[in-house]
Structure 1
Amino acid sequence: MLQFTFLGTSSGVPSLTRNVSGLAVRHSKTKDWILIDAGEGTQHRIQMTNLSLQNLKAICITHVHGDHCYGLLGLLASAGMNGRKEALTLIAPKEIQTWLQSSIELTALFLAYPIHFIDVSEIRDKIEINPELFISAHALHHRVASYAFAIEVIHQQKKLNVDALNALSIPKGKLWGDLQHGQDIEWNGEILQSQDFVEVTTQQVKAIVSGDNDQPELLHQACENADMLIHESTYTQETLEKVGKSPMHSSAKMVAAFAESVKLANLILTHFSPRYHDTKGITLLEQEAKKFYTGHLFMAEDLKTFELNASGQLKVV
């Protein structure tokens, strides 16, 4: 129901193997997708996927640090130059809107499509991206205001009770179609109500995508009914203790222990310091996390795609 393609998994600066933060979240039943963060070079990574800027419905920026937003302007410009006309929703801190407006004025940037800006700090309810796809925001703790985004798909299926229809000798065709679409019908002088002949089943999945954050426990409530969490794991615990509290990031241990405490089924770690970008470094982070988390653990890689199905199971595709 949801697909996650990592466009950048490095913290701070890019390396030869990992770009800075960017994550594409696609509603797998449609071509609609959401971009969460747009570090420098994000549009280049998008060109390596089958994602189209024409189908991009919303961009969510977790916070104003450059490794999460410096690629935004170029991406918006390219979407316009490629013929985009449809409005684009931008959910971000207010400072991003100010920066965007100034850049448009100072660089003579013309966008042939409207930007619908939503101040992330003012979000109180779910935002509907399409009839099945919703976004909500949760405040975090970092050097600047930072947010996590909850992405939910709620899919309803309607199935006719064929046995009941046949028992009344109602012929297939328009009458069946009307009932399935919620309309009552008249049959043999009697009004038949749609709800008596249609069974509705609901499939729902929820994923939490976190921005930079040194207090994973702030996501406790958001994760109560979530199927998965994507969270930064910039350092090992040992390195975090050496660099001190000032960077305000999480270690693999911190995130893993939190995920275990709320019984999350799936956890993806990302936003790795460049010091861990080789195989040895990623293994070190993974091993630390596994000491504290017994669920399904994954380590993000640039251009790797994961799929969360209707049963809440996560796999690499």
Structure 2
Amino acid sequence: MEIVFLGTSSGVPTRSRNVSSLAVRLKQRGEIWLFDCGEGTQHQLLQSDLKVGRIRRIFITHMHGDHVFGLMGLLASIGLAGAPDRIDLYGPPQLETYLDACARYSHTHLHYPITVHKHKPGVIYEDEDYRVLCDRLDHRIPAYGYRVEERDRPGRFDVAKAQALGIPPGPVYGQLKLGQQVTLDDGRVIHGQDLCGDPQPGRKVVYCTDTIYCDNAVRLSEGADVLIHEATFSHRDATLAQQRLHSTSTMAAQVALAAGVKHLFMTHFSPRYAPGNDLDLRDLLSEARAIFPHTDLAYDFLTYEVPKPSNAMAVSSSNEGSRSR
């Protein structure tokens, strides 16, 4: 499971940051799930190594323009690049009406099926490998955060132990790897769990934007391997954050601390903290790390491989997770 940040600015793009979008690449199944799609997202995709044709699901947090203005253009380009089997969209009730209006007035005809799933708290998607939950956040309009959970996997199968027990290789190994009970031809009953190591916990990624600090964000983030949380403002601009129902750096850190997450990436930064201003993103990082040390600043095209529980974390692009741009 790999995270690619495609847009990390709030409200408007800057020279170095586009508006909100995040890709989660599920390598084993060759799929990309997109979270938010601000204006210019498809240009960001073209500058990355992500393949537009791999996008299968798009999750929209809310209907503010910096999170949806790029969606119709992306859907049209996906169709021109070669129609997929289908794309599933998840978002507020207004999302379907918005897309219908865009298609009608731009005379855009999508030649592949799209299904729009409307937000509701709880599980909104699940299959044998993953499930996605969402919950309401606290913003000026209805906004939802998302939690992507990878299913727990059986522990490693001990082939040597199976051979020592005289279990013949073949389809039975597959059943035992899944922890199932198998009766052999000689009448012995073998429990797969006795031949497997401890289960491998699935990874959990949470995406919370736009919101001020709220209890739902904490609950949604509980025990996550990675929390991606907006930090539009510095703690020193907390009054603005309260007025606009956005988070400060310290609010994001408090959510991470209260939820017991492993790693926090802050995103959705106000352009007011560009280099050269009285406050810049290094100040936001210091504020957050004073509360939650395992914090980094996201930036456009940062790629992060979510580590399995036993592995060390890995940030690509020259380990620039704390870089300020």
Task: Return the TM-score normalized by structure 2.
Answer: 0.87
Identify if the C-alpha distance between structure 1 residues 198 and 11 changes in structure 2 by more than 3 Å, giving closer, same or farther.
Answer: same
CA contact (8 A) 1:123 1:136 kept: yes
Quick one: structure 1 residues 114 and 162, their matched pair in 2 at CA, closer, same or farther if it must change by over 3 Å? Answer: same
Are the structure 2 counterparts of residues 186 and 51 from structure 1 closer, same or farther at C-alpha, using a change threshold of 3 Å? same
Query: Partner of 1:246 in structure 2?
Result: 243
Give the whole-Å Cα distance in 2 for the aligned partners of 1:3 and 1:265: 16
Residue identity matched to 1:154: R
Separation of aligned partners in 1, 2:107 and 2:284? 44
In the TM superposition, what is the alpha-carbon distance from 1:164 to its structure 2 partner? 4.8
Does the C-alpha gap of structure 1 residues 164 and 269 become closer, same or farther in structure 2, counting only changes over 3 Å?
closer
Tell which deviates more after alignment, 223-232 or 158-167.
158-167
Percent of paired sites with the same residue: 32
Give distance in 2, aligned partners of 1:176 and 1:32: 28
Question: Relative to 1, partners in 2 of residues 1:282 and 1:161: Cα closer, same or farther, differing over 3 Å?
Answer: closer
1:208 aligns to what?
A: 206
Structure 1 pair 14–183 and aligned structure 2 pair: CA distance change class (3 A): same
TM (norm. structure 1) is 0.89
- Bigger CA drift: 152-161 or 211-220? 152-161
Q: Is the 8 A contact 1:256 1:292 kept in 2?
A: yes
2:256 equivalent to 1:259 = yes
> How much has 1:239 moved relative to structure 2?
2.2
Pairwise CA distance, 1:123:
4.4
Corresponding letter in the other structure for 1:140: L
Within 5 Å, give how 1:146-165 maps onto structure 2: 146-157=143-154, 159-165=156-162
Question: Contact (CA 8 Å) 2:181, 2:189: kept in 1 or not?
Answer: no
Stretch deviating more after TM superposition (60-69 or 208-217):
208-217
**134, 137, 151: which one aligns with 1:137:** 134
Q: Could you say which structure has the higher strand fraction?
A: 1
**Count of matched residue pairs:** 311
User: Per-residue CA shift, 1:154-188, capped at 9, x if unaligned?
Assistant: 24246444455434434334554565465845423
C-alpha deviation, 1:6, in angstroms = 0.8
- Cα separation, partners in 2 of 1:81 and 1:281, compared to 1, 3 Å: same
1:22 alignment partner in structure 2: 21
Quote the Cα distance in structure 2 between the aligned partners of 1:261 and 1:192: 46
User: Which secondary structure does the structure 1 equivalent of 2:131 belong to?
Assistant: strand
Higher relative contact order (CA 8 A, sep 6+): 1
In the alignment, is the contact (CA less than 8 A) between 2:162 and 2:195 conserved in 1?
Answer: no
| 1:85 aligns to 2:84 (yes or no) | yes
Aligned to 2:6: 7
Q: How far did 1:51 drift?
A: 1.2
Following superposition, the deviation at residue 88 of structure 1 comes to 0.7
Q: Distance in 1 between matches of 2:155 and 2:238?
A: 51
The question of whether the paired residues in 2 share the 8 Å contact of 1:135 and 1:152 is answered with yes
Q: How does 1:207-226 map to 2 (within 5 A)?
A: 207-226=205-224
Which of 111, 121, 124 is equivalent to 2:122?
124
Q: Which moved more, 1:40-49 or 1:105-114?
A: 105-114
Aligned to 1:232: 230
Q: What code does the residue aligned with 1:30 have?
A: R
What is the aligned partner in structure 2 of residue 199 from structure 1?
A: 196
Residues 163/244 of structure 1: CA separation in 2 closer, same or farther (3 Å cut): closer
Secondary structure in 1 aligned to 2:12? coil
> How large is the Cα RMSD of the aligned pairs?
2.3
User: Within 2, Cα distance between the matches of 1:4 and 1:277?
Assistant: 24
CA deviations over 1:235-279 (Å, ceiling 9, x no partner):
1122232x3633111111222233223333211111011111327
Measured after TM superposition, the shift of residue 218 of structure 1 is: 2.8
Ranges in structure 2 where 5+ consecutive residues have no aligned partner: 317-325
**CA spacing shift, 1:282–1:225, aligned 2, 3 Å:** same
Q: Which moved more, 1:213-222 or 1:153-162?
A: 153-162
Q: Is the Cα–Cα contact under 8 Å of residues 178 and 185 in structure 1 kept in the other structure? A: no
| Structure 1 residue identity aligned to 2:114 | I
Query: What one-letter code is carried by the residue in structure 2 that aligns with 1:308?
Result: V
Amino acid at match of 1:73: M
CA 1:155–1:56 in structure 2 vs 1: closer, same or farther (change >3 Å)?
farther
**Amino acid corresponding to residue 252 of structure 2 in structure 1:** V
> Secondary structure of 1:137's match?
strand
Q: Does the 8 Å CA contact 1:175/1:185 hold for their aligned counterparts?
A: no
Q: Secondary structure at the match of 2:47?
A: coil
Corresponding letter in the other structure for 1:259: A
1:46 and 2:45 are equivalent in the alignment: yes
Q: Which residue is 1:73 aligned to?
A: 72
Give the conservation status (yes or no) of the 8 Å contact 1:160–1:197. Answer: no
- Structure 2 residue matching 1:29: 3-state secondary structure: helix
> Separation in 1 of the partners of 2:300 and 2:249?
18
**Cα displacement (A) at 1:105:** 2.0
2 CA distance for matches of 1:141 and 1:151?
20
